[in-house]
Structure 1
Amino acid sequence: MTRPSGITLEQIQAAFAELREVKLEFALKGWFPGTSGNLSVRVGSFEPDSFTFAVTASGKDKSKNTPEDFLLVDALGKPTEPTQLKPSAETLIHCEIYKATGCGAIFHVHTVYNNIVSEYDGELGYVPIESVELIKAFNIWEENASIQVPVLPNYAEIPKIAELVAGAIKPRIPGILLRNHGIYAWGANAFEAKRHLEAFEFLFEHRYKYLLLTK
Structure 2
Amino acid sequence: MLTDLLLNTLVALDKPIKKSDGGGLHIFVLPFGRKRWRLAYRFEGKQKTIDGGEYPAVSLHRARVWREEMKALLAAGTDPIAHKKEARFQAVADKVTFEMIAREWIEARRLAWSPRYARLIEGRLEKDILPVIGDKPIRSILPRTMLEALRVIEARGSYEMAHRIKNHCSEIFRYAIPDGRCETDPCRDLSAAMIKPSPVRHRAKIEIKDLPEFYARLNADAGWNSVILRFAGRS
The structure in which a higher percent of residues are strand is: 1
Same fold per superposition (TM over 0.5)? no
Using the size of structure 1 for normalisation, the TM-score is: 0.21
Using the size of structure 2 for normalisation, the TM-score is: 0.20
Report 1 or 2 for greater relative contact order, CA contacts < 8 Å, sequence distance ≥ 6. Answer: 1
Q: Which has the larger radius of gyration?
A: 2
